[in-house]
Amino acid sequence: MKTNFNFQNHNGSKNSKGAGYPPQKLSLAEAILWFVLTAFALCLFGSSNAQTAIVNVNTSFISSVQTKNYTAAGANGSSFSSANYQYTFGASTQATNHLKKLNSFIIGSEVYTYADNASSVVKIRRVNNTVVAGTRTLLWVEKSANATNSKIAVVNEYNDNMESVFDGNSLNQGTDNLFANQGDGNGNNNNIERLDVIFTGGVISTINSKVGFALFERGDDNAHDPFVIAPITAIDVNGNPTAYGNILRVNTASFGNLPSSSTNYYIVRKDTATEASLKMSTSGTQKIGGVFISLNDLGVAANVKIYGYSVIGYDLPSNATSLNLVDYTNTAYFPRNTSSATMQGGIDLIALTGVLSAPNSIILPPVAINIVNDTILNTALVTGIAPFKASAASGIIASYTIQSIPSENEGVLYVCDNGNCTPVTAGQVLTAAQIFMLSFQPNPGYTGDVVFNYFATDTYNQASNVATYTIPVSGQNPGVLPVTMLSFTSSIDNKTVQLNWQTSLEINSSYFEIQRSEDGIFFETFATTTAKGNSSLISNYQTKDDLFFYSKKVVYYRIKMVDIDGKQKFSSVMIIKVDAAVTRNSVKAWPVPFISQLNVEYNSEVKQDVKISLTSISGAVVFNSNINVKQGHNVITINQAQSTPAGTYILLISNGAKTEALKVVKQ
């Protein structure tokens, strides 16, 4: 909103206005011209696509721990520049409730919240003009109730970096005249041509109408300034937008009015080259309006990745295309004379950026996990290390990238495949199988922590956070581990996996835990085998795993080796591709043959009622019952089967839509 208002002092009343209202102190001819230009602009740009007004929000407060105090004059060029004021920010202003955060809002029956895992970076794109050059911070901040004529008391913590202010979640601060280059009577102009909110890992929606962005503005009800927004569809290695999707114009009518949102505020600014701190230029009271723009509004289909969005002034020419948005220095599409006295550039954007989603509507980037490996001895031996770990809500991790490697004086990181070891290079991409082949050769003269970094990429080509991998290297032997394993192999036959492992040395070994995982990260023990104890001979072990109800395409196995003193280590991880035929059935009965009771395992897609019956070959029904089953795995025991004669029977389970049959034998 524009701020060239008349004030008696910074506590005085304000002649408030907003988009759709003429600026104050105009002559009759100027006012007529302003209305003509406004009407022309509305006809030229037309109405926006369907966005959703935000009319309610759920908020919370965070208390400040920082404080800043100083004495300075008002901002140069404002009506307050001739006097000095005592400035206080954050905790020195009031004890609690400094940062007002948006938690959620409701549209229809859906609750929208910020996706915490979609990390964003805000970039403000500046181009010098005839009024402003360099970096100018221009903000509005909440005014404290204990302010006086000589005391500028600001509720928010001090922050004179606009990109930092906007890369957060704050409903009680923002910017003033975001795209205005001229026209503000108090000097609140800037040189900003585009504001980018970039998600370096990308954002993908599963339901594109329920994922999007919320923009809020300080202004008067039904008079919030319009803007232009477009999705970023590609970025370069530095995170700069290189391509855009559809251009969307959002007008005043799209905003909702938030009830009880009246806020007392200051406008503060700072020119980095000439000023040491923020200075107040004006103050007033206005309300807050909000609009939700879904990916569907922006023309982004479900399961299509975007990298954020850009906000642009409303004077972007109507003939602009997505290609024209990339170069914000092009004056044909980013004018340098945008005025705060019109609706074109005066949006007072609130510092709320990020992606919001209704439940189960967004595919977030994967999460890589920091790892601390077991301590290894600083010999020249190549030693196997634990694999990388990452989880992906979207599905399977496709690859891992080594972002940095250990220094030469620390040692060498390898990928070792059947004894052939190749040094790893920075930037190298590893497959899901190769992360289980990692080894490290420490420098014999080095002790301490070896640290390098990696990140994961999922099957949607979304990158995770950067995780750290730490290898403690010691000059002291960490102790003898319980088992030396020679091999770990597997085979799969229909629904059964057989795991085989071989040891060459066991010292005080106690037992083996055989563990299974669906994602290669979180393992559970499904079998335990007693170890030999003490042996210098080759020992062979095996166990089987029934995958009758397993629903994933890949299964992970590892063996936990434990000695009698509690020392333990893990084998490498075995990855097995599961044939789709393994998981096509949902019913199993055991034991086969049965003597007394018959146990039935049933995997149900939903909670429902099923009909179970046991019929002889001749058609006689010996058991019939309706049972309510839960979603997932169920075990049903038929005790009545103990009274049935020996013979062959047909077990039927039906949910109304599907009937499955199994042949069972009574002994």
Using one digit for the tens of pLDDT, what is the confidence trace for 589-606? 878 788 878 888 887 877
- Segment among 120-124, 273-277, 584-588 with least mean pLDDT: 584-588
Instruction: Copy the structure tokens of residue 131.
Output: 């009024």
- pLDDT band of residue 27 (cuts 50, 70, 90) is low
- The pLDDT of residue 46: 37
Task: Say whether both 110 and 63 belong to one domain.
Answer: yes
Task: Return the CATH number at 417.
Answer: 2.60.40.10
- pLDDT band of residue 373 (cuts 50, 70, 90) is confident
- Segment among 62-76, 129-143, 241-255, 287-301 with least mean pLDDT: 62-76
Last residue of a domain, one of 362, 397, 427: 362
- The pLDDT of residue 395: 66
Instruction: Copy the structure tokens of residue 474.
Output: 């010691």
Evaluate if residue 20 carries a pLDDT over 50: no
Evaluate if residue 61 carries a pLDDT over 80: yes
Residues in the chain: 667
Residue 19 in domain? no
Evaluate if residue 25 carries a pLDDT over 60: no
Task: Say whether both 557 and 597 belong to one domain.
Answer: no
The amino acid at 32 = I
Task: Say whether both 399 and 532 belong to one domain.
Answer: no
Residues of the domain holding 634 = 585-666
Contacts (Cβ under 8 Å, ≥6 apart) of 262 = 285, 286, 287
Average pLDDT over the chain reads 84
Task: Say whether both 270 and 397 belong to one domain.
Answer: no
Residue 14 in domain? no
- The pLDDT of residue 579: 63
Task: Say whether both 74 and 165 belong to one domain.
Answer: yes
Last residue of a domain, one of 431, 452, 474: 474
| Average pLDDT rounded to a whole number, residues 407-414 | 94
Instruction: Copy the structure tokens of residue 186.
Output: 């108090």
- pLDDT band of residue 201 (cuts 50, 70, 90) is confident
Q: Give tens-digit pLDDT for 432-463.
A: 889 988 889 999 889 999 999 999 998 888 88
Place of tokens 């229909």: 494
Task: Say whether both 280 and 391 belong to one domain.
Answer: no
C-alpha dist (Å) from residue 304 to 242, 298, 449: 17, 12, 41
| Average pLDDT rounded to a whole number, residues 248-274 | 94
- Give the number of other CB atoms < 10 A from CB of residue 665: 13
Task: Say whether both 529 and 398 belong to one domain.
Answer: no
Task: Say whether both 369 and 357 belong to one domain.
Answer: no
- Segment among 36-45, 276-285, 407-416, 579-588 with least mean pLDDT: 36-45
Task: Say whether both 659 and 526 belong to one domain.
Answer: no
* pTM listed for this prediction: 0.61
Task: Say whether both 416 and 560 belong to one domain.
Answer: no
- The pLDDT of residue 581: 42
Task: Return the CATH number at 598.
Answer: 2.60.40.3080
Residue 10 in domain? no
- The pLDDT of residue 481: 57
| Signed CA dihedral, 314, 316, 321, 324: sign only | negative
Check residues 658 and 392 and name the one with the higher pLDDT. 392
Evaluate if residue 648 carries a pLDDT over 90: no
Task: Say whether both 144 and 38 belong to one domain.
Answer: yes
Task: Return the CATH number at 578.
Answer: 2.60.40.2060
Residue 21 in domain? no
CA angle 405, 407, 411 (to 5 degrees): 90
- Segment among 266-275, 525-534, 612-621 with least mean pLDDT: 612-621
Check residues 25 and 294 and name the one with the higher pLDDT. 294
Residue 20 in domain? no
| Average pLDDT rounded to a whole number, residues 383-412 | 88
Evaluate if residue 59 carries a pLDDT over 70: yes
Residue 1 in domain? no
| Average pLDDT rounded to a whole number, residues 132-145 | 95
Evaluate if residue 112 carries a pLDDT over 70: yes
Evaluate if residue 292 carries a pLDDT over 80: yes
Residue 620 in domain? yes
Task: Say whether both 301 and 446 belong to one domain.
Answer: no
Last residue of a domain, one of 310, 340, 362: 362
Contacts (Cβ under 8 Å, ≥6 apart) of 502 = 485, 486, 487, 488, 538, 539, 540, 541
Question: Which stretch, 35-49, 57-71, 72-86, has highest mean pLDDT?
Answer: 72-86
- pLDDT band of residue 586 (cuts 50, 70, 90) is low
Number of domains the chain is built from: 4
